[in-house]
Structure 1
Amino acid sequence: MISSIFEEQLTIELEKVLLRPITADDAEDLYDIFSDKQVMKYYDRLPLKSREEADDLAKMFMDGLADKTMIRWGIEEKAGGKLIGTCGFFCISEDDKKVEIGYELRRDRWGMGIMSEALGAIMKFIFTRTDINRVEAFVEVQNVASMRLLDKLGFVNEGTLRQYERCRNELIDVTIWSCLRSDGVY
């Protein structure tokens, strides 16, 4: 069952970065990331406007972990200890054996393979330490870089959901991607 992993050590050391649970001390770095309009261009929330909103975001990630409704890792650079992004899973369905992933990275770290390494580790974590069968990702149709990343990680594009959600005051189309345990990628 997936709920047992919330009691485990959740820090994952990778080549370039350390994945670790978000803390209140991360609020300043979260503000730097989530206030950047380019980073938030395809995100389902508006860029942060204040440090207080970053405090609330850190609390939401921490509460999700405490409530066992999500795991959101901070992506911390090994050199310097700076938080440069987050990634994790939420919308956990024990009955349907599925989760949804989400992620973002500071703009000045794009194209360096960091998110590929981080998400690959999370996928391995999900498929080796839980009984989850399906991992989903929803991506706006214009977000080509994110779709390339998911394709590289072995996800399958299952199609476009027309006017699927309201984002930035308009109904938008999103593509749905999945990776199944039986795909054997992880």
Structure 2
Amino acid sequence: MLGELFFPVIETTRLRLKPLAIEDSACLLEIFSDPEVMRYWNTPPWVAMKEAYDFVNESKELMLRQESLVLGIYLKSTGKLVGKCMLFSYAKESKRAEIGFGLGRPYWGKGYINEAGEALIQYGFRSLGLRRIEAEIDPDNHASAKALVKLGLQQEGLLRQRWQINGVVSDSALYGRLVSDPI
């Protein structure tokens, strides 16, 4: 039963969240090779189709091991893959996981992160039995900070000089939401 929990299809008003397929690799590469999409990530932009293939395959393996839940964000109206959302670093005993998102630039500002994010958070709380969902972002990423607050996460701390990507050192802002938090 738990294994099935890591391969859900979650429907929202405009979106379908479901596990990625190898056929999604070209769309994933298009999204995650964009330097603006990857500006605040802890990895550089993708440069080759192999990175997309590897991501899909690694995501499936993590889901089979029940360590992460990695879902594509698809528009219900067209079936197009527009991004991904994840519950990762799943700690079953501690009932916690981290949440993350990536969305293609043409789909920014349309409320898709809020819609997908709340659906994923509710799935984590209700189906996976999570007590806590966390996020870690670059504090300069104001759009992500705004989205997290809109999703009910509260900023809880700051880790100074946490990452160095391509020679750039950055801090990490930590956010959290408890199942018991009022929304």
- Note whether the superposition's TM-score is higher than 0.5: yes
Q: What TM-score results when the alignment is normalised by the length of structure 1?
A: 0.93
Please list the CA deviations of residues 15-60 of structure 1 after superposition, one character each: whole Å capped at 9, or x if unmatched. 1111001111110110011101100001111111111211111111
Whole-angstrom distance in 1 between the partners of 2:160 and 2:126: 33
Tell me the C-alpha RMSD between the 2 structures. Answer: 1.3
Correspondence for 2:4 among 3, 7, 32: 7
Please, which runs of 5 or more residues in structure 1 have no aligned partner? none
CA contact (8 A) 1:44 1:168 kept: no
Q: Which residues of 2 match residues 127-146 of structure 1 at below 5 A?
A: 127-146=125-144
Identify the residue that residue 67 of structure 1 maps to in structure 2.
Answer: 65
Q: Which residues of 2 match residues 70-81 of structure 1 at below 5 A?
A: 70-81=68-79
- Point out the more displaced range, 54-63 or 174-183: 54-63
Q: Which residue identity lines up with residue 100 of structure 2 in the other structure?
A: G
- 3-state SS of the aligned residue for 1:138? strand
Q: Which residue identity lines up with residue 83 of structure 2 in the other structure?
A: G
CA shift at 1:89, angstroms?
0.7
Identical positions, percent = 32
Identify the residue that residue 151 of structure 2 maps to in structure 1.
Answer: 153
Whole-angstrom distance in 2 between the partners of 1:167 and 1:180: 30
Q: What TM-score results when the alignment is normalised by the length of structure 2?
A: 0.94
Whole-angstrom distance in 2 between the partners of 1:64 and 1:135: 18
Whole-angstrom distance in 2 between the partners of 1:168 and 1:91: 24
- Point out the more displaced range, 160-169 or 116-125: 160-169
CA shift at 1:165, angstroms?
2.6
Instruction: Give the total of aligned pairs.
Output: 182
Whole-angstrom distance in 2 between the partners of 1:63 and 1:131: 21
Whole-angstrom distance in 2 between the partners of 1:88 and 1:51: 21
- 3-state SS of the aligned residue for 1:182? coil
